[in-house]
Structure 1
Amino acid sequence: MRAIERFLADEAATIELGEDLALVLKPGDCVALSGDLGAGKSTLARAFLRALADDDGLEVPSPTFTLVQTYELRIPVAHFDLYRLADSSELDELGFDEALSQGICLVEWPERADDALPASRIALTITHEKDGRRVEISGPGERLQRIARTLTIRGFLDQNDHPNARRRHLSGDASIRAYERVYPADGSVSRILMDSPRHKPGPILQDGKYYQQLAHIAEDVVPFVAIDQLLIARGLAAPTIYARDLDQGILLIEDLGSDGILDAAGQPIDERYIESARLLARLHAKQTDREISVDQSVIHRIPDFDRTAMKIETRLLTDWYLPWKRGAPASDDEKREYGEIWDGLIDLLQTSETNLLLRDFHSPNIIWRQERQGLDRIGLIDFQDAMIGPTAYDVASLVQDARVTVAPPLASRIMAAYLAERHANGSFDEAAFLRDWHLMSAQRNCKLVGIWVRLMQRDSKPGYMKHMPRTFAYLQVALAHESLKPLHDWCMKTGILDSESAN
């Protein structure tokens, strides 16, 4: 990838670049800042650190005399100034390698240790040009692509009436999506920016398709825009979309707030879970049109949560979890028997109630708006993977929240609230629904145990493994239903369910 060049008209532009870099640099990135005295290296480094800390008052002393200053931020940062370095070998004594293994290294005057810095570094060179500065950014392709992406987002904001807006990291998730909170320069209310680049095709798994295609995972932002329109039309609190670039995968949307359905200690707030169940019941009681017009040339057809999608998700258990647990791949016989069991279970769903599924309807994706009334208190923010399928799936997602333990008494109250609301809104087969709930719970948790391992091994995100014991506890609840006995027996035979799996 060719080097990136930008003209920085003034100090504010230099600060803005530093803040934008804070959104995309990752642990293991080394940024070599080159330029004459007064070029703006320290200004850019200070802006980067304050943005990463989300603290405009953060003290950022010059490391000219100490040679290195460290910061324990969202991502650890070590700020080096090598102007007084006598020999590049001294870099080891400063703990450079350890700092780079744990976080980001900003290096001013990198020329003093050019031979000791990693070849994969990002080189950022600032030179004087008229009354401003010109910056050239070079480095390995993947790192430059991240920087180009953040600059593309800056251009998107500039073109959509938000020039000079402040951008701060909000969150990332288990996918490639990332979110920012955007503060307009005029002081108006904040916005949320969704950064969702198009999925890159993965390895072909079945029928000439890769995982996202088989599981009907959204590969661009069109499904989000379509389902957002549908939910708003239903009178539900989904975010208004202020600006969008469907090709680039960038949306500027309403900030519904930051209060969720957990308390300060991260525990479920009963009322909020129960109201969320009532919202699901209202949503499931009315049928959904499958086709949604996003604009004159784009129509989104909501996909089915079909046999292929269900089975490719459950395969994550045999493809990822079982090899990790046992240190050896699942046998062909185990895979065959597992697949046949799921074929039989999915056959039971042929007469199930189906409707819109938001998918992943749990605590990270539900906003609580205390100042509102009734179901308008519940803000919905993550639904791009919505499908048409058994309504029990969303209820299983809520009652068995993947990120927090929902104790049995609260689980019973949530389920009772949903069932009461469904009965109040028309004919409803409760017995069939409860069977489907156990089946969908089993399907979801078989998927999740594989996802946690995949995130750790493939995506270097080990933090999700802390959810494994909870996921197995939920799976054991699901397998208690008589219709799930074949799957229960298979899990026992393969050693998936034992005393160790819940520890």
Structure 2
Amino acid sequence: MTRSSPSIPAGAEEFLHSHGWADARIEPLAGDASFRRYFRVHLEGGRAILMDAPPPHEDPRPFVEVARWLTDRAFTAPTIHALDLERGFVLLQDFGDARMREAIDDDPAVTLPLYEAAVDLLVALRAHPPGELRRYDRAELQREAALLTEWYCPAVGVAVDVEGYAAAWDAVLGRADAQVPVTVLRDYHAENLMLIGPERTLGLLDFQDALAGHPAYDLVSLLQDARRDVDPTLEELMLTRYRAATGEGDAFMDAYHVLGAQRNAKIIGIFTRLWRRDGKQRYPGLCPRVWSYLERDLSHSALAPVARWFAANLPPEWRGDPMVIAAAKGLS
């Protein structure tokens, strides 16, 4: 086996050897915001992806279970070739390097058809009752929203009304209760949608945190993408497309904006935590975009209690890149 990096995890060679990849070359790939790492494995013209999801920080079981649930229903998730759950190794199908994000960056003319395909996939997904997944309930939504007050506010040196924050969310989250829950992939955006083959079939990744929740959540992930700008006009077009296909009305739009505000508040907290706790300094710079989405959601009437809290506790001058704000205040 040929190593291309000293970062190959211990036990990976033995795992690959035991599953017929003894002479493979291992190439590290870019990681994500978790403890998971990925490697491309090459052998005699074939290749696969090795996921390293080391316990106790990671558990590959949810990924494997959701991948199988998706493929059983004709969605394009990676085939699982081999796994060692105790050591956190999963050998899976390699979807290649063609992602929706880069395809759009390279050729803006494909923006509309690719977003239409991504929306249509969510329409198809909601036709299936969710798998055996934990509910994405109000307690979970509150816990996630609280990441903003737990991480962002201290980072920028602002003392806020934490109890009032929870109360404001409690006043609006009822609008996002899922009467008929669907499988919510939770990180459904242009960097996690692969383009497979000449037909550019959408391949799904990063769904290990899937829950059973409101169908608007994955639309928010797609149309208020933390990692790339989505034009408001495109967002409206895709919402219209989704609602035309599903018959959803005004209540759905209330849920969309409530979940948009909740998700964006959570992401701001997570990106700040990745900087403050984990030393990942590229994430604070993504926060201004997420703040812009959050402010758009807060302008919706369904968010009035939460909007009042933000106006009183985090006025516009304290919204942005937490690393820049902290440096200006001498906190970093």
TM-score relative to the length of structure 1: 0.60
Query: Who is 1:346 aligned against?
Result: 173
Looking at CA atoms only, which structure, 1 or 2, has the larger radius of gyration?
Answer: 1
CA-CA distance at 1:312 after TM superposition: 1.3
Question: Aligned runs of 1:303-452 on 2, under 5 Å?
Answer: 303-325=134-156, 327-328=157-158, 330-331=159-160, 334-350=161-177, 352-372=179-199, 377-423=201-247, 429-452=248-271
CA deviations on 1:9-46 (whole Å, 9 max, x unpaired) are xxxx7xx35x341x35xxxxxxxxxxxxxxxxxxxxxx
The answer (yes or no) to whether the contact 2:5–2:28 under 8 Å persists in 1 is no
- Check the 8 A contact 1:285/1:422 in 2, yes or no: no
Alignment of 1:18-417 (within 5 A): 19-21=4-6, 23=7, 150-184=9-43, 186-187=44-45, 189-200=46-57, 219-263=58-102, 266=105, 269-290=111-132, 302-325=133-156, 327-328=157-158, 330-331=159-160, 334-350=161-177, 352-372=179-199, 377-417=201-241
What stretches of structure 1 of length at least 5 have no aligned partner? Answer: 1-12, 25-149, 201-218, 291-301, 424-428
Are residues 1:475 and 2:317 paired? no
SS of aligned partner of 1:192? strand
Residues 418 and 378 of structure 1: CA distance in aligned 2, closer, same or farther (over 3 Å): same
Distance 1:351 1:170 in 2: 37
Deviation at 1:487, TM superposition (A): 0.5
Q: Which amino acid aligns with 2:190?
A: S
Match among 310, 316, 332 for residue 498 of structure 1: 316
Identity of aligned residues (%): 35
Which protein is richer in strand relative to its size? 1
User: CA offsets, 1:239-262, max 9 Å, x none?
Assistant: 111000111111000011211112
CA contact (8 A) 1:244 1:250 kept: yes
Runs of 4+ in 1 over 4 A off after TM superposition: none
Partner of 1:88 in structure 2? none
Which of 1 and 2 has higher RCO (CA within 8 Å, sep 6+)? 2
- TM-superposed CA distance for 1:263, in Å, is 3.6
Residues 352, 436 of structure 1: 8 Å contact kept: no
Alignment check: 8 A CA contact 1:20 1:151 kept: no
Instruction: Note the C-alpha offset of 1:417.
Output: 2.3
Preserved contact between residue 239 and residue 256 of structure 1 (Cα < 8 Å) = yes
Per-residue deviation at 1:444? 0.3
Q: Find the aligned partners of 1:493 and 1:438 in 2 and give their Cα distance.
A: 20
Cα separation, 2, equivalents of 1:418 and 1:199: 39
Paired residue type of 2:54: P
Secondary structure of the residue aligned to 2:208 is coil
Instruction: Summarize deviations over 1:51-91 as a string: whole Å, max 9, x none.
Output: xxxxxxxxxxxxxxxxxxxxxxxxxxxxxxxxxxxxxxxxx
SS of residue paired to 2:29: strand
- Distance in 2 of aligned mates of 1:486 and 1:162: 57
Greater fraction helix:
2
Q: In 1, Cα distance between the equivalents of 2:137 and 2:30?
A: 31
Q: Is contact 2:77-2:204 (8 Å) kept?
A: yes
Paired amino acid for 1:271: P
Q: Secondary structure at the match of 2:63?
A: helix
CA change 1:151–1:263 in 2 (3 A) is closer
Q: Summarize deviations over 1:443-483 as a string: whole Å, max 9, x none.
A: 10010111111111100001011211100000011112111
Tell me, yes or no, if the aligned pair for 2:291 and 2:319 is still in contact at 8 Å.
yes
Count residues with an aligned counterpart.
318
Q: Distance in 1 between matches of 2:153 and 2:14?
A: 45
Deviation at 1:196, TM superposition (A): 0.6
Q: Distance in 2 between matches of 1:357 and 1:497?
A: 32
- Give the match for residue 135 of structure 1: none
CA distance in 1, matches of 2:37, 2:5: 14
Q: CA RMSD in A?
A: 1.9
